[in-house]
A = this chain, B = another copy of it.
Amino acid sequence: MVYGYAGKILYVNLSTGQIYSKDLDLDYVYPVIGGVGLGIRLLLDEVDPKVDPLSPDNKLIFSVGPLVGAVPCTSRMAVISKSPLTGAVGAAFSGGYFPAELKFAGYDALVISGRADKPSYIWIKDDDVIIGDASDLWGLTTTDTQVILKEKLNQPDAKVACIGPAGERLVRYACIVNERRAAGRKGLGAVMGSKNLKAIVVKGSRRVKVADDEKFRQAIKRMHELMRESPVLYPSFSRMGTPMTVEVTAELGILPAKNWSATGLFAPVETLGGEAQTHYTITRMGCYMCPVRCGQIKVVKSGPFAGFMTEGPEFETTYSLGTIVGVNYLPAVIAADRLCDEYGLDTISTGVNIAFAMELVEKGILSVDEVDGLDLRFGNYDAVIKMIRKIAFREGFGNILAEGVKRSSEIIGRGSERYALHIKGLELPGYDVRGAKAHGLSYATAYSGADHNRGYAIQEIFNVPVPYKVDRLAIEGKGILCKWNQDVRTAVCDCMPLCVFVFDMGLAAYALEIMARIYSALTGLEINPDEIQKAGERVNNIARIFNFKAGFTRADDTLPARLMEEEIPGGPSKGQLITKEDLDKMLDEYYEARGWDKEKGIPTKEKMLELGLPLEWLSDG
């Protein structure tokens, strides 16, 4: 009898039509817990790190964790593949109801390989799995896809994950949307599109089995207590959601603006801040089994964007489709957010790409003709809206931006690389890390590129003293802190999983302890806080090995030149930057803490042995 875990991995080969499931090997999953850990371990085992990400040989893995479907605030999934944007491990995360439904259907993970010969969908109803013809869904936006597909299958309460027109066209930062949530980053929607896979429909009837009911109940009770005691989680976060971070980053002077050229100079809190956004909120929604319900449904009721509704914009989208494109008009951000969701575009990468183009036009590097005559000035939200559409459909200049800023700047040349803000090809999220050094180090070293959630330095941004208080501007000690943030966050938020916001604002210092209690009671497999953290460390090491085999080295653990050479121009963090020397110092400390070879940036043999990982993984590096 398997507890907690569903106990099976579903394999679907779209080239051959072969569908089968394998029993989950607990010895295989336990060291990495599940979720993204299981996904990345499968990726390393089953996918050649040198594979073309958009070829049939790449795999697309959906992985839920042991807590999903049984524990509040855990209906999350990791989607893992080799990213077409970075060429590294691409892991994107989504919440909502689809993750729990996949678990209820009886699967810990779904591994999709090959490429269908025509547009297809996968329809999973417990053990009944079929590949269906989606020719008649091709071209639909993500809401329409979900509505029409559920009607066609007469499955109103099934859950659907799908791509929009952007994924169909292999836009390199296309996302995968379920309900109104997105596995947003790293272009996994393009991987899905490359497999001719429009959608996955799931309906599950099983429930998660608990090993020790009484212990489990007590642990969940404690979790709720901690959440209720938080001065932030319900009072502020439920009410405002992530946009409350606009105020925080503006106050610290690290809210990036105008393609990162105007941080501290343009921080329109009064129109885009968390408080301001509440005026557009009509109702709140949550993921499956979540009492926090941070999803703010916002509607524009008048003006040129009247009628647009979105669940969001989150803080990151407020940054990417607001401040970095110089827009301070929330209705335009709401409309742009909705369009990205409907077309299936990652809002962060989309905004960074448009901001990049805007700066190139303002600097005269690109002519107006080259951008299809659009008036791409910072602040022109009509141009933003038009460019979103062009990117999604790869029309005109949008066909260049659809490649992401790294490739776009290579195509454009003329020194445009300086304005392409990415790490390992992934566009930067919304924290100007020149004023938050450990956060910057996490951008530089995360296995998936500039990813704010893989080692979020909450200590620097929200002044949280867990595991200890830090000076956000200091360089020293940030290597160790970054490792802690990465390992704990990976283990708890991505593998168990647990919603990052409940981790940060609800459980905080108690997260490891509570998660250990819950995991042990749920699965019947004993685990302790140290072992949890170790699992996260394993995942970061396995991902590192995949990336190393894919060709990544220490040289890729870097920041955009702009952040290392130009100071923040104004505001509370004026004058800050992370010099190359700062970065090298932090990297040395980080590699040291990680037990990684400082030249190659990969685990030493000792570290492999310590983590119980096979040495042969290092062999063909």
**Interface on A for B, CB 8 Å cutoff?**
135-141, 143-144, 147-148, 150-152, 156-157, 164-165, 282-283, 285, 297, 299-304, 306-307, 309, 342-343, 389, 392-393, 395
Q: How far is the CA of A151 from the CA of B144 in the complex (A)?
A: 16
Do most interface residues of chain A lie in helix, strand or loop, or is the interface mixed?
Answer: mixed
User: Do A393 and B307 touch (CB < 8 A)?
Assistant: yes
Contact of A307 among B141, B148, B283 (CB under 8 A): B141
* Cβ-defined partner of A138 (8 Å) among B136, B282, B306, B392: B282
Cβ-closest chain B residue relative to A179: B151
- B139 near A301: Cβ-Cβ < 8 Å: yes
Cβ 8 A contact of A302, one of B151, B302, B393:
B393
21 pairs across A/B with beta carbons < 8 Å? Answer: A135-B282, A136-B282, A136-B297, A139-B299, A139-B300, A141-B309, A143-B143, A143-B147, A144-B309, A148-B283, A148-B297, A150-B156, A156-B156, A156-B157, A165-B301, A165-B307, A301-B393, A306-B389, A307-B343, A307-B389, A307-B393
**Docked pose: A551 CA to B285 CA in angstroms:** 50
A84 → chain B, closest Cβ, in Å?
22
Instruction: Indicate whether A282 sits within 8 Å of B147 (C-beta atoms), given known contacts A342-B307, A393-B306, A393-B307.
Output: no
Taking each of A135, A301, A342, which has the highest tally of chain B beta carbons within 10 Å of its own beta carbon? A301
Q: Which of A138, A151, A164, A306 has the most CB of B within 10 A?
A: A306
Q: Decide yes or no: A283 and B165 within 8 Å by CB, A143-B147, A389-B307 being known contacts.
A: no
CA A52 to CA B152, docked complex, whole Å: 43
B residues in contact with A139, CB < 8 Å = 282, 299-301, 309
Q: What is the bound-complex CA distance between A304 and B136, given in angstroms?
A: 21
Q: Within the assembled complex, what's the spacing in Å between the Cα atoms of A139 and B301?
A: 6
User: A287–B328 Cα gap in the complex (Å)?
Assistant: 44
- In Å, the complex CA distance between A147 and B143 comes to 9
Complex contacts, A302 vs chain B, CB 8 Å = 393, 395
**Which of A144, A151, A165, A307: most chain B CB closer than 10 A?**
A307
In the complex the two chains form, what is the Cα distance from A136 to B343 in whole Å?
Answer: 26
Determine the distance from Cα of A303 to Cα of B299 in the docked complex, in whole angstroms: 27
- A342 and B389 CA atoms in complex are apart in Å by 19
Residues of B close to A138: CB separation below 8 A? 282
Given A140-B309, A165-B307: 18 more A-B contacts, CB < 8 Å? A135-B282, A136-B297, A139-B299, A139-B300, A139-B301, A140-B282, A140-B299, A141-B309, A144-B309, A156-B156, A156-B157, A165-B301, A165-B306, A302-B393, A306-B392, A307-B342, A307-B389, A307-B393
